[in-house]
């Protein structure tokens, strides 16, 4: 693993300064033509109005007595929303544990190369976070099962969250990204995760599932530690690299 440094980056216009004037000349000769009526926004609007959604939330086959809400039976809509959110978090935590596996590998390589430095994470920190993700996955699996839901189903919220997160894994596992670049990808995941756990705590509490809300609050506390730690490591590393006063 090599540290990212200055070099022969060719992407900017100034990298070919001799060509800049000629490139600009050609664009001034062009007269852009307007399309027949429709704009990009209009086309998107038309499709958005006509499209079906990505899919449905599978109904729970059974509802077990142990999770009856303190404020009465849930409507089908409330149950669907809750299951969709639980499944979304489950999928994210499961993927998150795989992200941390990749990050741990990167960490070991960077550590061997002496690229971690003071104020960075330890291997034990990252392994603990990885195990937290896996434990949260198990917690959500149990919660979905307790509602009589199927924890193996991919729900719309889980599906769309996976689309949103498509860049995280590649940013971590590309062998050319250094540990700190990979850590920045984890920050994106942790930011989302933190907000989503807060939403789950509120949702469980608001629907009257106090026991579940308590268990989710413990998970949220883990996530608070993840987020603050990752932020702090990145902050310290960036300041140190830039030679800035912390």
Partner 1 sequence: MSLDLMKEKGVPIEEQSFTLRELTPPPISKLDDDAFTRVRIILMNGLESHALRFKHACAWFSRDLRVPLAAVRRAEQHQQTMVNWLLPADQSVLETTIGFEQVAIEVTASLALNEPDPYMAQTYRFGLLEDFDHLYRYAALMDRVDGKDANNILQSYTDILPGRPTMLEHRAPVDEIRRPYDRATVHPVSRLNALTLVGAEYQTHDYYMTVGPTFADPVARGVYAEIASIEEQHVTQYESLIDPDETWLEKWVLQEAVEAYNYWSCVNYEGNARVKQIWQRFLDYELGHLHLAMDLMKSVERRDPAEILPASFPEPVRFESHREFVRETLANEVHLRARGSEFIPSNEEQPDSPSVLYRQRLNSEGTPTEIVAAGYRWMPGTELAGIAPGAAAAVQGEVRP
Q: Which residues bind partner 1 (CB under 8 A)?
A: 50-56, 91, 94-99, 101-102, 104-105, 123-124, 127, 130-131, 134-135, 137-138, 141, 151-156, 159-160, 162-163, 166, 169-171, 173-175
C-alpha span between 225 and 12 (Å, rounded): 39
- Closest separation in Å from C-beta 67 to partner 1: 20
C-alpha span between 230 and 103 (Å, rounded): 12
C-alpha span between 139 and 142 (Å, rounded): 5
- Closest separation in Å from C-beta 3 to partner 1: 19
Specify the residue, 135 or 240, whose C-beta has the smaller distance to partner 1.
Answer: 135
Look at residues 238, 232, 226 and name the one whose alpha carbon lies nearest to residue 190: 226
- Closest separation in Å from C-beta 221 to partner 1: 16
Burial level of 182, CB count in 10 A (0-12/13-18/19+)? Answer: buried
Six-digit token string for 142: 């149990």
Other C-beta atoms closer than 10 Å to the C-beta of 29 total 6
Specify the residue, 154 or 194, whose C-beta has the smaller distance to partner 1.
Answer: 154
Specify the residue, 203 or 222, whose C-beta has the smaller distance to partner 1.
Answer: 222
Specify the residue, 45 or 71, whose C-beta has the smaller distance to partner 1.
Answer: 45
What single DSSP character describes residue 188?
Answer: H
- Closest separation in Å from C-beta 93 to partner 1: 8
Other C-beta atoms closer than 10 Å to the C-beta of 198 total 15
- Closest separation in Å from C-beta 199 to partner 1: 21
- Closest separation in Å from C-beta 136 to partner 1: 9
Specify the residue, 46 or 210, whose C-beta has the smaller distance to partner 1.
Answer: 46
C-alpha span between 82 and 212 (Å, rounded): 12
Helix, strand, coil abundance in the chain, percent, nearest 5: 70, 0, 30
C-alpha span between 226 and 219 (Å, rounded): 11
Specify the residue, 25 or 50, whose C-beta has the smaller distance to partner 1.
Answer: 50
């Amino acid at each position: 693993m090599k540290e990212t440094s200055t070099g022969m980056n060719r992407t900017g216009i100034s990298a070919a300064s001799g060509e800049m004037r000629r490139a600009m000349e050609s664009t001034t000769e062009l007269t852009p033509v307007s399309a027949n009526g429709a704009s990009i926004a209009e086309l998107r609007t038309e499709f958005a109005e006509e499209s079906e959604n990505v899919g449905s939330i599978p109904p729970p086959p059974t509802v077990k007595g142990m999770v009856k809400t303190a404020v009465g039976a849930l409507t089908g809509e409330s149950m669907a929303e809750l299951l969709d959110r639980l499944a979304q978090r489950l999928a994210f935590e499961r993927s998150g544990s795989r992200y941390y596996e990749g990050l741990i590998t990167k960490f070991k390589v960077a550590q061997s190369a002496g690229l971690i430095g003071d104020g960075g994470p330890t291997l034990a920190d990252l392994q603990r976070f990885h195990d937290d993700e896996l434990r949260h996955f198990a917690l959500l699996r149990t919660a979905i099962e307790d509602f009589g839901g199927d924890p193996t189903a991919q729900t719309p919220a889980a599906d769309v969250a996976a689309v949103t997160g498509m860049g995280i894994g590649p940013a971590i596992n590309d062998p050319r990204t250094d540990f700190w670049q990979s850590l920045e990808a984890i920050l994106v995941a942790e930011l989302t995760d933190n907000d989503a756990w807060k939403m789950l705590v509120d949702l469980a509490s608001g629907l009257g599932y106090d026991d579940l809300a308590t268990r989710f609050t413990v998970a949220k506390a883990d996530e608070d530690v993840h987020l603050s730690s990752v932020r702090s490591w990145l902050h310290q590393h960036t300041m140190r690299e830039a030679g800035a006063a912390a």
